[in-house]
A = this chain, B = another copy of it.
Amino acid sequence: MRKDSRLSRMLHVLIHMDRLGGPATSERIAKMLSTNPVVVRRTMAGLREQGYVTSVKGHGGGWSLAMPLHKISLLDIHNALGESSVFTIGLSDEYTHCPIEQAVNKAIKDVLIEAESLLLERFGEVSLDVLAEGFVDLPAPSFDEGKGY
């Protein structure tokens, strides 16, 4: 089943952005992610709406962090990306008034809710500055020269 790696990739980008002097263009970020500027804009738009990044048009423009990394958690970015569910597991809806289907779906749903709660809680506990720790002086060659890093 298809995976959504936007969270991982956006976190990676945000931490590199934190080291950049100025804004990063969609073009530049797209090269880093081996993708395409429009896809970057699409994805970053969600983060901008929630106030984590800002975008500036025109010459010298691009994307910038709107707050320090320690104020951003994995949960924040996860939510900003707006993916409905974290699970590939879904419930059937063929016979919604069959009591057996109801019992089956309730059992599965209860477990999914519990597991998702734990996951979101843990995501909320990790802020991006912690992930960036220990690499403070590291440049970001991937930003400048494609797959160098």
**Residues of A near any B CB (own CB < 8 A):** 1-5, 7-9, 11-12, 15-16, 32-34, 74, 83-95, 97-101, 103-105, 107-108, 110-112, 114-116, 118-119, 122-123, 126, 130-132, 134-135, 138, 142, 147, 149
Contacts and interface: CB of A to CB of B under 8 A. Distances in A.
Contact of A115 (B9, B90, B115, B142): B115
24 contacts: A1-B88, A3-B87, A3-B89, A5-B90, A5-B91, A7-B108, A11-B108, A12-B100, A12-B104, A15-B100, A33-B94, A83-B88, A87-B87, A87-B88, A95-B142, A98-B142, A100-B131, A100-B132, A100-B138, A103-B131, A103-B132, A114-B119, A115-B116, A115-B119
A131 B115 contact: no
A132 B108 CA distance: 14
Nearest to A98: B149
The residue among A11, A98, A126 with the most chain B CB atoms within 10 A of its own CB is A98
Contacts of A122: 110-111, 114-115
The 9 A-B pairs with the shortest beta carbon distances in the complex, nearest first, are: A3-B90, A115-B119, A8-B92, A111-B122, A5-B90, A103-B131, A11-B104, A98-B149, A9-B92
Contacts of A107: 74, 126, 130-131
Copies in the complex: 2
Contacts of A112: 119
Given A89-B3, A119-B112, A9 B94 contact: yes
